[in-house]
Amino acid sequence: MPHSANLSQQWLQHFGWEILPHPARSPDLAPSDFHLLGSLKRHLGVMAFETEGDLVGELKNWFAHLVLDFFRVGIYLLLLRRQKCIDLHGDYVKK
């Protein structure tokens, strides 16, 4: 959605945040795929939900119990992986 991407870019500029380049189709460097969704996937494991409401409830519970260090660790590990990618001139970064 280009219109939302433009709005996001404007907000980033408004707050003066540095926008780092991100290789296209690089889930090993995407914060959501790298740390957040992997952790969520491990949490949910083989759980089965009878209703969508049950799933939503579990998701809300999981997100509500995340602590600040969860995100700090995720960003730190992402920075390490990003540096590996830079050192490898963009080649795939193994975990």
Angstrom CA distances, 41 to 27, 34, 52, stand at 15, 11, 17
For residue 94, pLDDT beyond 80: no
**pLDDT for the residue numbered 1:** 43
pLDDT tens by residue, 37-92: 889 999 999 899 999 999 999 999 999 999 999 988 988 888 888 788 778 876 66
Q: In whole angstroms, what is the distance from residue 38 CA to residue 95 CA?
A: 12
Range 19-33 average pLDDT: 63
Band (27; pLDDT cuts 50, 70, 90): low
Structural domains in the chain, CATH included, are 23-95 (3.30.420.10)
